[in-house]
Amino acid sequence: MKRKNVCRWYDETSGMKRAYDQGLLDIKWIEDYCWNGGKECVRKRKYEQEGYVSPDYVLPDGTVDENLKKWVENG
pLDDT at 4: 76
pLDDT at 1: 52
Q: What angle do CA 61, 42, 66 make, to 5 degrees?
A: 45
pLDDT at 2: 54
Mark out the alpha helices in the chain (DSSP H runs).
15-21, 27-29, 42-50, 66-74
Distance CA 9, CA 7 (A): 5
Pick the closest to residue 10 from 75, 25, 65 (CA basis): 25
Query: Mind listing the pLDDT tens digit of every residue in the chain (75 residues)?
Result: 555 799 999 999 999 999 999 999 999 999 999 999 999 999 999 999 999 999 999 999 999 999 999 999 997
64 - beta bridge partners? 58
| pTM, 2 dp | 0.86
